[in-house]
């Protein structure tokens, strides 16, 4: 399977909680069976999550972060999120994004099964600021409880997210051609999402900097100013158009909260969160992460959909600079979905996690 000159990539595996412990092994199995003369893989098993916090008092051990810094990339499964405040606990994936400098959350959403809507878009979500800085306070005013949260938008973070979104818009066609497919648009479209009609200072800054940074990146890449179409969309009308006319979107760049909501909502267009991948991307590291949660209702039943993780594995490879290997995985997943014989229950089938994974492996060869 591997040539003697193949490069070894060291991949950290963080199953986390719930079905993360079932789908991350599927991602590993895909890499172990990936036909490639360029790559082979070494794996490191690492711990993080809410269950670990309950056992040890730590959701993200220092040794997990230290080991990740020695890896080329990683896969993160899922994390349980308590609905009420738990003293001392904070999300390990949010902490990992900050510690590893993973400023972009990249979420492709693609329909390959029969549908009356053409869906093939990428939501690029800023990963480090906005309301997710979690600077909140509670106080009383005139005898009433008041809660406040700070929304932070910075020029630096906006420039970084708009720059990588522009790169993705320019480079997306490469992998699609390797898959043998095509995009729906004559040229890439970058849509800047904001609410500057109300939040004129914070979202106004995001809108202004994102457009300027996109134009700057086009110049840096040596392509003409009209190489991509740059649009804007107010976030509430964006939600409406996303569901009514998803074919008009290609790459969408958004602040943290809007990107989170839009990407989970977009999953409804393709049937299930179980097929939607993501990658947490920085300048020198990437973590593939399925968009679904820990799903305690199906934990241990062996029926969780591995496709979001498998696509996240391909997305990780894509950002590590291996589009050909990524395309092999994408193409095999698409073949599984189009054929429709081995689908997990969330897609209306009865196949197990293992059966779906093995079917995709058979389609890579």
Question: Considering the domain 1-102+282-365, what is its CATH architecture?
Answer: 3-Layer(aba) Sandwich (3.40)
pLDDT for 9: 97
Q: What is the DSSP string of 247-282?
A: GG-SEEEE-HHHHHHHHHHHHGGGT-GGG---EEE-
Those residues with Cβ within 8 angstroms of residue 200's Cβ, 6 or more apart along the chain or in another chain: none
The pLDDT tens digits of the residues spanning 155-210 come to 999 999 999 999 999 888 666 667 666 666 778 999 999 999 999 999 999 999 99
pLDDT for 14: 98
- Intrachain domains 1-102+282-365 and 113-118+141-270 with the same fold: yes
Question: What does the DSSP 8-state code read for residue 6?
Answer: P
- pTM value is 0.89
Q: Where are the domains of the chain?
A: 1-102+282-365, 113-118+141-270
pLDDT for 115: 54
pLDDT for 141: 96
pLDDT bucket at 6, cuts 50 / 70 / 90: confident
Q: How far apart are CA 147 and CA 158, in angstroms?
A: 27
Average pLDDT over residues 130-138: 92
What are the distances in angstroms from CA 86 to CA 59, 66, 259? 12, 26, 26
Those residues with Cβ within 8 angstroms of residue 350's Cβ, 6 or more apart along the chain or in another chain: 343
Instruction: Give me the helices (H) in the chain, please.
Output: 20-32, 50-56, 62-68, 92-99, 155-179, 202-220, 235-244, 256-267, 307-319, 323-339, 353-364
Q: Which residues pair with 254 in a beta bridge?
A: 125
pLDDT for 181: 62
pLDDT for 1: 32
3-state helix, strand, coil in the chain (%, to 5): 45, 20, 35
Residue 88 contacts residue 28 (beta carbons within 8 Å)? no
What is the Rg, in whole angstroms, of the alpha carbon atoms belonging to the chain? 20
Residue 116 pLDDT exceeds 60: no
Residue 148 pLDDT exceeds 70: yes
The topology under which CATH files domain 113-118+141-270 is Isopropylmalate Dehydrogenase (3.40.718)
pLDDT bucket at 4, cuts 50 / 70 / 90: very low
pLDDT for 111: 86
Mean per-residue pLDDT over the chain, rounded: 92
The pLDDT tens digits of the residues spanning 251-278 come to 999 999 999 999 888 988 887 888 999 9
């Amino acid at each position: 399977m591997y040539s003697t000159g193949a490069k070894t990539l060291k991949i950290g595996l963080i199953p986390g909680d719930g079905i993360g412990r079932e789908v991350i092994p599927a991602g590993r199995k895909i890499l172990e069976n990936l036909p490639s003369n360029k790559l082979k893989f070494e794996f490191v098993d690492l711990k993080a999550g809410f269950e670990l916090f309950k056992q040890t008092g730590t959701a993200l051990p220092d040794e997990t972060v230290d080991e990740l810094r020695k890896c080329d990339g990683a896969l993160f499964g899922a994390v349980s999120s308590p609905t009420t405040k738990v003293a001392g606990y904070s999300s390990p994936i949010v902490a990992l994004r900050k510690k590893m400098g993973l400023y972009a959350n990249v979420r492709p959403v693609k329909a390959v099964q029969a549908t009356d809507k053409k869906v093939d878009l990428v939501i690029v979500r800023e990963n480090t600021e906005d309301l997710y800085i979690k600077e909140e306070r509670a106080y009383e005013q005139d005898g009433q409880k008041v809660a406040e949260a700070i929304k932070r938008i910075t020029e630096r973070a906006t420039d970084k997210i708009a720059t990588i979104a522009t790169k993705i818009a320019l480079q997306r066609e490469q992998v699609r051609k390797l898959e043998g497919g095509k995009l729906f648009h004559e040229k890439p479209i970058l849509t800047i999402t904001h609410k500057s009609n109300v939040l004129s200072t914070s979202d106004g800054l995001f809108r202004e900097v994102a457009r300027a940074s996109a134009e700057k990146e086009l110049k840096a890449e040596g392509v003409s100013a009209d190489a991509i179409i740059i649009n804007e969309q107010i976030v509430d009308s964006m939600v409406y158009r996303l569901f009514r006319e998803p074919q008009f979107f290609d790459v969408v760049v958004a602040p943290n909260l809007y990107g989170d909501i839009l990407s989970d909502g977009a999953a409804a267009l393709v049937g299930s969160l179980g097929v939607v991948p993501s990658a947490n991307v920085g300048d020198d590291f990437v973590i593939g992460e399925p968009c679904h949660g820990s799903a305690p209702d199906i934990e241990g039943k062996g029926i969780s959909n591995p496709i979001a993780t498998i696509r996240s594995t391909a997305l990780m490879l894509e950002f590590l600079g291996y589009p050909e290997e990524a395309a092999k995985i994408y193409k095999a997943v698409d073949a599984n979905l189009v054929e429709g014989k081995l689908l997990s229950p969330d897609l209306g089938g009865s196949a197990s996690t293992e059966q779906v994974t093995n079917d995709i492996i058979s389609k890579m060869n």
